[in-house]
Structure 1
Amino acid sequence: MILIFGGAYQGKADFAKRTFGLEDEDIFYCGEASGQKGLAQENGELPSLSPQAEGARAIHGLEKAFLDLVRTGTEPKDFLAAHREQMKDKILMINDISQGIVPVDPVLRAWREAVGRAMLWLASESDQVYRVFCGMEQRLK
């Protein structure tokens, strides 16, 4: 697993394409205008990766899928641990939402905290970890 994180619009996808030879069709974008969330709910059980996300080499915008998990009471870290095998060969891109003003809305505050816990888990489980800022990457692991 490879983790690429950084702020919004900092060049994570461009870095992934350049470094790992990805094309646009290799990347699944969570929560884009298409309405794709990356998750498939099954009878009240822990959601699974959608077939589109599972078939992609990379997943971008995981924090958007995590918001849906938080809203249903599912801890994103638990979701990741349950789907570790499906994600082991993926490049995962996530926006770091831990900076700035803490949201007043309790759901958004819980989301921010859950994304932080998920990023800790992802960093510990990933073979490679990169931070991208202003289009420049820094390898952390």
Structure 2
Amino acid sequence: MHFITGGAFNGKREWVKKTYGLTDSWISAYQETALPSDLIQVDSDLLVLEGVELWIKELTKTNDSFRCREIWKQTIHYWLTWEQENNQRTLVVIGTDITKGIVPVEGENRLWRDVTGWAYQDLAAQANKIDIIWYGCNQTIKQTGEWNR
């Protein structure tokens, strides 16, 4: 799994398109697509999941932080299972970093920010590669020997 993060409007989507090429298998929370857990229908060796922070926000609307983390870890497990079923598959996960700056006053926004930070830590722990994109430029902060792309 390749996890890509960075600030809003910093070129993450364009960087992924340039790095991986265009793909028909692009699922985006920005198009109001629900959190995908079952990837059986995906018929591609490359899958991009974009807008992780919005899927997490939806989780925080109906769950406490503990339950959000349970759901999130199970979702990551499903995603990795899909990727590992075929060694040609690559999963690319894009999430905007909302964890910096002033801590929100509203409790629901603090919960969203906190859960997003924990979720990104969970993604980072499982990812074989992590890139941060700032102003269209990448910085690789993790790459394991298992990375084959």
1:121 Cα deviation (Å)? 0.9
Q: From the superposition, tell whether residues 21 and 77 of structure 1 become closer, same or farther in structure 2 (CA, over 3 Å).
A: farther
| Aligned alpha-carbon RMSD (Å) | 2.1
- TM-score normalised per structure 1: 0.80
Q: From the superposition, tell whether residues 50 and 9 of structure 1 become closer, same or farther in structure 2 (CA, over 3 Å).
A: farther
- The alignment of Structure 1 onto Structure 2 pairs a total of residues equal to 128
**Residues 62-112 of structure 1, C-alpha deviation per residue, up to 9 Å, x if partnerless?**
100101101111544322321234312321000000112211110111000
Q: Is the 2:30–2:50 Cα contact (8 Å) retained in structure 1? A: no
Q: From the superposition, tell whether residues 21 and 31 of structure 1 become closer, same or farther in structure 2 (CA, over 3 Å).
A: closer
Q: Percent identity?
A: 25
Which residue pairs with 1:46 in the alignment? none
Q: Measure the CA separation in 1 of the matches of 2:2 and 2:139.
A: 13
Q: Measure the CA separation in 2 of the matches of 1:59 and 1:11.
A: 15
Q: What are the ranges of 5 or more consecutive residues in structure 1 without an aligned counterpart?
A: 40-48
1:14 Cα deviation (Å)? 1.2
Q: Is the 1:4–1:93 Cα contact (8 Å) retained in structure 2? A: yes
Q: Which residue of the other structure, out of 50, 64, 72, is the alignment partner of 2:54?
A: 64
Q: Measure the CA separation in 2 of the matches of 1:70 and 1:126.
A: 23
Q: Is the 1:30–1:61 Cα contact (8 Å) retained in structure 2? A: yes
The reply on whether 1:37 has 2:34 as its aligned counterpart is yes
- TM-score normalised per structure 2: 0.76
Which residue pairs with 1:45 in the alignment? none
Q: What are the ranges of 5 or more consecutive residues in structure 2 without an aligned counterpart?
A: 84-90, 143-149
Q: Is the 2:38–2:78 Cα contact (8 Å) retained in structure 1? A: no
Q: Is the 1:61–1:95 Cα contact (8 Å) retained in structure 2? A: yes
